[in-house]
Amino acid sequence: MNKRKLQEIVGVNFLRLGVIFTAFFLISFLYIIFSKGGSVLSWTFFTDFPREGMTTGGIYPAIVGTLYLTILSILIALPLGVFTAIYMVHLAKPYWLMRIVRIAVNTLAGVPSIIYGLFGLTLFVRIMQLEVSLISGALTLAILALPVIINASEEAIRSVPRSFREGSLALGATERQTIMRVIVPTALPNILTGAIISIGRVAGETAPIMFTAATFYSRMLPTSINHEVMALPYHIYALMTEGSKPDQQVPIAYGTAVVLLLLVMFVSATAIIIRYKIRKSRKW
């Protein structure tokens, strides 16, 4: 066997090793979280409030809080994102403004999530006096989700064939009618896929809600957007860093992580299925 052949075998297997390591890690990671968290899962874990300083009981308010925060933030970010994408693809004038918008979106995408937290604390909690509340957290998360939604929507809108637009304009439709009744509806499934992916991302964020929305413990569910909320990711963090009974808190943290992971996976699976269905049914 000559040197080149040896190099080939060693090299290719080295690459294979990287992949195997990643797979091994992922499987053991999921196994550890699910096996340690699985033992605390029960019906009451989903439906009960935390009890006795969070050493027992369920995580119902954290589940509800995360759902509220996530849904509200996407409802705020989605229209903004879609209209920005429409601007980027179909108006795109003046050119310099489009360049600046693009730079701003890309820069926002790279801002660390803790900085969004500080921004939310300053603008929403303090200047706008919304206090630590559901709405402050949702607004902060909305801005964090915006770049992802803009990029996904832009790609979706760009993938609508040019002929759709031309056909509609040729029939005498105005630019608004063409965009709102032809292009956006055609791109909608892809836009929604992007939105769903960002739901998964937003649901797991901790740092942005630490000072804007999340509370360690709450006796009741939020009944207004001005209430502070519990949230799954923050609950995990709190269980691991506060309180005095780690023996009882760590298993609950694992259990909460299982619920959060299941939520995130369910959301991404939905996105993948929708994407698959679109690809199958596409006729152009």
Partner 1 sequence: MKVFKEILFKAVTYFAAIFSILALFGIILTLFMEGIPMFQEVSLREFLFSSAWYPTNEHQSFGALALFFGSLAVTIGALVIAVPIGLGTAVYISEIAGSRTKEIIKPMIELLAGIPSVVYGLFGMAFLAPFLIRNIGIDSGLNIFTASIVLGIMIIPIISSMSEDALSTVPRALREASYGLGATRWETITRVVIPSAKTGIIGSFVLGFGRAIGETMVVIMVAGGAAQIPSSVFDPVRPLTTSIAVEMAETVLGSIHFHSLFALAIMLFIITFITNLFTELFLFKKVK
For the segment 159-198, give every residue that binds partner 1 (CB under 8 A).
174-176, 179-180
> Of 236, 253, 228, 9, nearest to 132 (Cα)?
228
67 touching partner 1, by CB under 8 A = no
219 touching partner 1, by CB under 8 A = no
CB of 83 vs partner 1, minimal distance in Å: 3
16 touching partner 1, by CB under 8 A = yes
Helix intervals (H) in 39-94: 43-47, 60-86
β-partners of residue 50 are 57
CB of 206 vs partner 1, minimal distance in Å: 5
Among 133, 168, 206, 218, binds partner 1 (CB under 8 A): 206
Ordered DSSP codes for 113-176: HHHHHHHHIIIIIIIS---SSHHHHHHHHHHHHHHHHHHHHHHHHHTS-HHHHHHHHHTT--HH
38 touching partner 1, by CB under 8 A = no
Return d(Cα 16, Cα 29) in angstroms, integer: 20
91 touching partner 1, by CB under 8 A = yes
Which residues, numbered 115-144, are part of the site for partner 1 (CB under 8 A)?
Answer: 115-119, 121-123, 126, 143
80 touching partner 1, by CB under 8 A = yes
Residue whose entry in the numeric block shows the structure tokens 């739901």 = 199
25 touching partner 1, by CB under 8 A = yes
Tokens coding 162: 């040019």
Which residues, numbered 233-262, are part of the site for partner 1 (CB under 8 A)?
Answer: 233-234, 236-237, 240-241, 250, 253-254, 257, 260-261
